[in-house]
A and B are shown apart, each in its own frame.
Chain A
C-alpha cells in the first residue's frame, strides 16, 4: 500500500506535466502560435499560452514564478537554521499563491477564447492537464476569434496612410514637426501619435479637437516637452526639447484636474506659483503686481484671502489657470478648462483666454464643448485615431475651413466624423487623415507639379465616405 502511494506520488507530477504539455502543444497549434514546442518548457509554456491570448504581462509574471518554483523543486535546503527554512518556505508559498492568481486570470481568458463556461476553472485548479488535453485534442473545442485584443493591440500597427508633409520652422510662433510618439508597454511598442506637423502664429487661440483617446493630452505633453516625442518643437525660434530647462518656464500647462492644495489661501497659492515660475531677477514689487494683474484678469481678487477649499468649481479652474498664467508664458495650453462648468462661466473663461491670445501669446485649448465658444478661436486642430488606433492630424486650419473640409456645421459634428463607429462616431478618421495629408501636399507642392490623374489619391485609397457622408 505504501509502495503504491509513493509510486503514485512520484509519477503523478511527471504524468500531469506531460499531459499538460501535450495538450498545450496541440492548443498552441490551434491558436496558430509559431513555437508550440514552448509548451514543454517550464516557464515558457505559461508565457506562450498567455501571450497567444494577448496576456503578455500575466504570461511573463506567471512564467517567471513557475520557473522559480520549478527550479526550487530540485533544490535541497542548504542551511540548517529552521527559521530561515521557514521564512524561505513562506516566501515560496507567497510566490505560489501569486502564481495561482495569475494562472486563474489566464485560464479565465482561456475559457473566453475557447467559448466554454467559467465553471471549467474548477477543473483547472486541481487537474490543469485535463482541460488542457480536452482543449488541445478535441476537435469540438476551437479557439474563437474574439476581439478581446482591441485595447491591447491599440497603437501597435499604425494604418498605412501617407503622412502630411512637415512644415518649415519659423522664428516666431510655434512649429511642431512630430514624426512619432511611442510608448513601450511591456513587450510591445505602441504608437500614440504619428505624423503631426503644423505651425501656429503668435496671437492665436487654437482649439484642439478629437475624440476620447485620440491623443490630445499626449500631443500637448509632447509639445511642452514634458513627454518627449520623436519631434522638433520650435517656439519663437527656440527648440523646446533642446532648451527644455529654460523653455519650460515659457510654457504654461493647465492640466485637466485642479491640482491645487486646498488648504492654502488663493493669494498665497498664486503668489507661490509666481515665486516658483518667475525669474529670480523679477523684484518682489513686480511679482506682486503680476499676481494682482492675473488675479484681476481672472476675477479672483474678491475673496483672495479665502481658502482654496472654499471656492467653487469655476473659481478653482481659474486659480489653476492663474498658477500658470502668472509666469506670462509664450505658449499657454489648457486641458479642458471648462470641464464641469456651466455655459456662462465657461464662456467667461474662454473670453479671458481670447484676451491672453490677443496679447501675442499662443493659447491652445482642449475642450469637449467647443461650439459654444468657437467664435473666439482662430484655428482648429483635429486629431483622429486611425484604424490602427494611432492619433494623427486630421485637420489644421480656421474653424470655417474645418466646417468646409468635413462638411459639418459644428465642431462636435467634426469630432463625431473622426470618432470610431464603436464610440457612436462615423469612423471616417482614416479618410480625413489621408485627405488632409493630400491637401497639405498640394499646398506645399511647387506650382509646376501637377498630380498624376491615373494614380489613386491617398484619400481615395483610404476608406471613402459612405452614402450621406460629405463628398
Chain B
C-alpha cells in the first residue's frame, strides 16, 4: 500500500492549541483569571502589608503567595484531561499524537499561568505590597518576584495536569487534589520544622523551592526581625527588685534611635542559607522548579499512553 502521510505532531499541536484557545472563550475557562485576582486580593490584604518589610512578614506573605500560586495552578488543569478522556481515546484511535495533545495543553496552560501571574502582581501592587526595589537576577525586584510566581503557578499547573492524565475521571481527580495541595503546603519547609527524611521530601515540592526563591528575592536575610523586640515589649512591665529593666531598655533604645538597629541585629541572628539573596541560589531554586515541571510532563506523557487500555 502506498504510504499516506498524515498530520504530524506540529500540525496536530496547532489544531489542539486552537481548540483550547477557543474553549477558553466558550467553556468559561476565562473565569480562572478573575478568580486568581480575588484570591490574590484576599491574601495580600491580610498578609501583604509586612511582606518584604520584616522577616516574619516576608515568610508569612511569601508562603501565602506561594499558596495562591499553587491553588491557581492546580485548579487550572486538574480536570482538563480526565474530563475528556473518552474523547481523547477516540482521537488517539484516529491518529492523535499524545505529545501534540500534551504540548497543546502545556502551551495553553502556559498562557493561562502567565495571565494569572500578571493579575496577581497587579493585585499585589494595588494592595501596596512593598516589592524589593532591586532584583537578584534582573534589575527589578517585581520582575524577579513575577518570574517566581509564574514558575510556581506553572509547575503546580503541570503537576495537576499530571494527576489529570493519571486518573480516569473528574471525581477521582478532585478527591486526589486536596492531598496534593496538603502535601505541598506541609512540605514547603517554611512553617513546619522538618528534619531528616521529611526535610529530604521537601525537595520534591514546588512550594519549597518557590518559597525559598521568593524569600531570597525579598532579601529575607537582610530584613529586620521583630519577634524578639515584640516579645521583650510584652514583658516590659516585669519588675525586678522594684525596677522595670526591660522597660528601661526599650525606652533607651527608642530614645537613642537603636530600635531599628536592634531589629536588624536580631534579624542577622535569624538568617537562613536557603534564603541567601544570591544569583546562584535564586537560579538554583528556579532550576529545581523547572526540573519538577519537566518530571511532571514526562509522567503525564507516559500516563496518557495508557488511554487505549481504558475500559468501555
Question: Measuring CB to CB, which residues of chain A are less than 8 angstroms from any residue of chain B?
Answer: 81, 83-84, 217, 224, 226, 238, 243, 246, 248-249, 253, 255, 257, 259-265, 268, 272-273, 275-281, 307, 324, 327
Contact = CB atoms under 8 A, between A and B. Distances in A.
Nearest to B24: A263
A269 to B, nearest CB: 9
Given A255-B90, A261-B84, A261-B87, A279 B23 contact: no
Contact of B26 (A217, A307, A327): A307
Closest 7 CB pairs of A and B: A263-B27, A263-B26, A279-B4, A280-B5, A263-B23, A259-B87, A259-B90
Contacts of B27: 262-263
A255 B94 CA distance: 12
B284 interface: no
A226 B93 contact: yes
A268 B22 contact: yes
Contacts of B7: 275-276, 280
30 contacts: A83-B198, A84-B197, A226-B93, A226-B308, A238-B1, A246-B1, A246-B4, A248-B95, A249-B4, A249-B95, A259-B90, A260-B87, A261-B84, A261-B87, A263-B22, A264-B23, A268-B22, A272-B15, A272-B19, A276-B7, A276-B12, A276-B15, A276-B94, A276-B96, A277-B95, A279-B4, A280-B4, A280-B8, A280-B11, A281-B5
A249 B6 contact: yes
Interface in B71-90: 84, 86-87, 89-90
A62 B109 CA distance: 42
Contacts of A324: 94
Nearest to A269: B19
Given A261-B87, A277-B95, 19 more contacts: A84-B196, A238-B1, A246-B3, A248-B94, A249-B4, A249-B6, A249-B95, A259-B90, A261-B23, A263-B23, A263-B27, A264-B19, A264-B26, A275-B7, A275-B15, A276-B6, A276-B15, A280-B11, A281-B5
The prevalent SS among residues of B at the interface is helix
Contacts of B308: 226
A150 B95 CA distance: 38
A243 B19 CA distance: 30
A432 B22 CA distance: 53
Contacts of B94: 248-249, 273, 276-277, 324, 327
A232 B84 CA distance: 32
Interface of B: 1, 3-8, 11-12, 15, 18-19, 22-23, 26-27, 84, 86-87, 89-91, 93-96, 196-198, 308, 312
A265 B15 CA distance: 14
A249 B12 CA distance: 15
B19 A261 contact: yes
Contact of A275 (B11, B87, B312): B11
A399 to B, nearest CB: 28
A424 to B, nearest CB: 24
Contact of A257 (B8, B22, B84, B86): B86
B86 A243 contact: no
B176 to A, nearest CB: 16
A223 to B, nearest CB: 13
B197 A83 contact: yes
B233 to A, nearest CB: 36
Contacts of B1: 238, 243, 246
Nearest to B196: A81
Contact of B5 (A226, A276, A279): A279
Contacts of A255: 90
Contacts of A272: 15, 18-19
A105 B12 CA distance: 47
Contacts of B196: 81, 83-84
Given A275-B15, A279-B4, A279-B5, A248 B93 contact: yes
Contacts of B93: 224, 226, 248, 253
Contacts of A246: 1, 3-4
A182 to B, nearest CB: 15
Contacts of B5: 279-281
B201 to A, nearest CB: 10
Given A81-B196, A83-B198, A238-B1, A276 B95 contact: yes
Given A249-B6, A275-B7, A81 B91 contact: no
Nearest to B84: A261
A260 B96 CA distance: 15
